[in-house]
């Protein structure tokens, strides 16, 4: 998968999360959790796009770390949403799986970049 395909995959992830949020019943808890998962998913997509425009390897790595954090946050809120809305378990499971796959790709990329960086001598 190239960077453009991954960028599109992140965008579709954010869109699919937004559509799930629109389906959730409105209540105080769902409002809070759905706002959080929607922000985290869209932020991971936006920050991946920003990473593609990084000015340096260090900048790229820092932006990918933000993507990693946002993806992990989205997974956490999926867990909470599923507990409160068990009837959405199947739909959440599909999105959780996609988020987890994206997270694995980003973590692998971060590891690869770190392994390629020269070791600093003290």
Full domain range(s) for residue 78:
3-115
Euclidean distance between CA atoms 55 and 102, whole angstroms: 23
The token duo for 110 is 């971060």
pLDDT tens across 108-119, in order?
999 999 998 766
**Is the residue at 121 inside a domain?**
no
**Is the residue at 122 inside a domain?**
no
pLDDT tens across 3-29, in order?
999 999 999 999 999 999 999 999 999
**Is the residue at 44 inside a domain?**
yes
Query: Interhelix angle for 28-52 vs 57-84, to 10°?
Result: 160
Q: What is the CATH number of the domain that holds 36?
A: 1.20.1440.60
**Is the residue at 60 inside a domain?**
yes
Number of domains in the chain: 1
């Amino acid at each position: 998968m190239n960077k453009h395909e991954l960028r599109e995959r992140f965008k579709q992830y954010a869109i699919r999360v937004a559509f799930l949020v629109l389906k959730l019943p409105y209540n105080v808890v769902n409002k809070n959790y759905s706002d959080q998962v929607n922000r985290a998913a869209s932020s991971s997509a936006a920050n991946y796009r920003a990473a593609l425009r990084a000015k340096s390897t260090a900048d790229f790595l820092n932006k990918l770390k933000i993507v990693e954090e946002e993806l992990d946050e989205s997974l956490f809120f999926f867990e909470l949403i599923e507990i409160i809305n068990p009837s959405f378990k199947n739909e959440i499971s599909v999105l959780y799986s996609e988020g987890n796959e994206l997270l694995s790709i980003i973590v692998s990329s971060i590891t690869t970049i770190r392994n390629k960086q020269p070791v600093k001598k003290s």
